[in-house]
Amino acid sequence: MAATKGNIEPKKKTPAAKDEIVIHAKGLKKSFGDKEVLKNITFDLKRGENMVVLGKSGQGKSVTIQCVVGMLKPDGGDLEVFGEGVTQMSDEELKQLRIKIGFLFQSGALYDSMTVRENLEFPLTRVLKLKDQAEIDKKVEEVLDNVGLLDAIDKMPSDLSGGMRKRVGLARTLIVNPEIMLYDEPTTGLDPITSREISELILHMQQKYKTSSIIITHDLECARITADRIVVMNDGEYIAEGSWKELQKSDNELVKSFFIETT
Ligand SMILES: Nc1ncnc2c1ncn2[C@@H]1O[C@H](COP(=O)(O)OP(=O)(O)O)[C@@H](O)[C@H]1O
Ligand SMILES: [Mg+2]
């Protein structure tokens, strides 16, 4: 054996972080009664990537991400998050997994009887079980500052506009530092200017918090702003994939219809 002076340890091969897969889905199927909602969903989400799932309503987009967090169980296919099979997880394992996954629901509901500060303290005390008030205050202020809403810290949700509520919802999800973010229609119900601001904020937060995200939307502008990669979903399957520019040139009629409707 040839001894190498001063360098006995073999070099560990560390995969390039950007190629690491955080969610792996292969051939996912899900039916409700005789309605086949997911027919064959296959995708990989890489670390640090923003993947947009673009599709009209009722195509199974929300069902897909509910499977990812174990709220729904697929009938078939493989689903791994951080290399672990989600469908085989115990309730306790699912609980641990969900701490690492931020889920911004379509409604993005805040607790109406709590101030913005209290809404943000909630996940810190309930999920992370933090007790040190100075640490809690620091985290709340930091995340609010990041979403541009430090001024609103003592306001009630009812005093805020729709866009501001979305920002607080986003802050509440990000405050526990999730590794994966799942956004379900983040711009629905907002006017075009506010939609754009929220989309830009999602992009900014990806860079700031280094999250890997799935962004579900039927808003083409949101897809354009946030996506590293777009998959187009129709009738329980992914029918196209590419960057904004690639999809814009697609020959697929359904993909084309998205671009025609909104531009
Ligand atoms: N928990 C459920 N029980 C029964 N049907 C459901 C359930 N969740 C979703 N569906 C049905 O699955 C289809 C796809 O829903 P969804 O994933 O919410 O669509 P979208 O692409 O708009 O997010 C719809 O027809 C919906 O009614
Ligand atoms: Mg939906």
Reported as a pLDDT band with limits 50, 70 and 90, residue 5 is very low
Rounded distance between C-alpha atoms, residue 8 and residue 14, angstroms: 18
Q: How does the average pLDDT of the chain come out, rounded?
A: 89
User: Mean pLDDT throughout 158-164?
Assistant: 92
The alpha carbons of the chain give a radius of gyration, in whole angstroms, of 20
For the CA of 57, the nearest atom of ligand 1 = 22
Measured from the alpha carbon of residue 233, the closest ligand is 1
Whether residue 13 is contained in a domain is answered as no
* DSSP helix/strand/coil, 76: strand
- Closest residue by Cα to atom 24, ligand 1, is 58
Q: What is the pLDDT of residues 10-66, one digit of tens each?
A: 445 455 555 799 999 999 999 999 999 999 999 999 999 999 999 988 999 999 999
Q: What is the DSSP letter of 1?
A: -
Q: What is the CATH number of the domain that holds 223?
A: 3.40.50.300
Greater pLDDT, 217 or 259: 217
Whether residue 236 is contained in a domain is answered as yes
- Token pair listed for 190: 């907002």
Measured from the alpha carbon of residue 64, the closest ligand is 1
Distance 181 CA to ligand 1 centre (A): 20
- Closest residue by Cα to atom 6, ligand 1, is 32
Q: What is the DSSP letter of 16?
A: P
Rounded distance between C-alpha atoms, residue 186 and residue 202, angstroms: 9
Query: What is the reported pLDDT for 3?
Result: 46
* DSSP helix/strand/coil, 67: helix
User: Mean pLDDT throughout 156-184?
Assistant: 93
Within 10 angstroms of residue 73's Cβ, the number of other Cβ atoms is 11
- Give the sheet arrangement for strand 50-54, strand by strand: 84-85, 76-81, 21-32, 35-46, 237-242, 229-234, 50-54, 212-217, 180-184, 101-104
Whether residue 198 is contained in a domain is answered as yes
Whether residue 189 is contained in a domain is answered as yes
Whether residue 10 is contained in a domain is answered as no
What's the domain count of the chain?
A: 1
Where on the phi/psi map is residue 56: left (φ > 0), alpha (ψ -120 to 50), or beta? beta
182 phi and psi, to 5 degrees? -115, 115
Within 10 angstroms of residue 220's Cβ, the number of other Cβ atoms is 19
- The pTM assigned to this predicted structure is 0.88
Whether residue 141 is contained in a domain is answered as no
Pairing state between β 229-234 and 237-242: antiparallel
Q: What is the pLDDT of residues 174-224, one digit of tens each?
A: 999 999 999 999 998 889 999 999 999 999 999 988 899 999 998 999 999
- Closest residue by Cα to atom 2, ligand 1, is 32
Distance 135 CA to ligand 1 centre (A): 40
Structural domain span for residue 218: 20-100+178-262
Per-residue pLDDT at 227 exceeds 50: yes
Whether residue 81 is contained in a domain is answered as yes
Rounded distance between C-alpha atoms, residue 188 and residue 161, angstroms: 14
Whether residue 152 is contained in a domain is answered as no
Quickly list DSSP for 247-258. HHT---HHHHHH
- Token pair listed for 117: 């500060």
